[in-house]
Amino acid sequence: MNEDIRKMTNIILLCLAVSIVLHAGLLMFTEANTYREWVIGQIIIQVLGAISLMYVKKYNFIALLVFFSSSVAFVYINAVFVNYGHELANLVLFIIFWVIYGGLIYRVREKFTETGAKDVQST
């Protein structure tokens, strides 16, 4: 895997792991049921995103689509239901993230297949 995309994917996985732990802490210390349901939804989406990133590292195109879809859902829930009032900031950061990460992926786009590249070294 391209060294830059491998490093960035590992950083994203670390950030997702930290975020899952922080959201679990948030879940323990809040009492509003509707808010708790949205936080649980975010945790599930983050776990799905982390799993899909493991397959993105193997150049799996479907996993990339799942990761993109889960990031859209996560940002929407975060902007509208959890951290409401910060929609513009969330949108700008989402676009910046996908411009950077998408640019890295675009550089190795020919390696992505439906099931992942067969000649990928273990990362």
Q: pLDDT (tens digit, 9 = 90+) per residue, 89-118? A: 889 999 999 999 999 899 888 888 877 765
pTM of this prediction exceeds 0.85: no
Residue 121 has pLDDT above 60, yes or no: no
Q: What is the crossing angle of helices 61-77 and 87-107, to 10°?
A: 170
Cα(97)–Cα(63) distance, integer angstroms: 17
Q: Is 108 helix (H, G, I), strand (E, B) or coil?
A: coil
Per-residue pLDDT reduced to its tens digit, 17-73: 999 998 888 888 877 888 888 889 999 999 999 999 999 988 899 999 999 999 999
Cβ atoms of 20 and 46 closer than 8 Å: yes
Indicate the domain borders of the chain. Answer: 3-110
What is the overall mean pLDDT for the chain?
86
Q: How many CA atoms lie within 13 A of 86 on its CB side?
A: 11
* More confident position, 1 or 90: 90
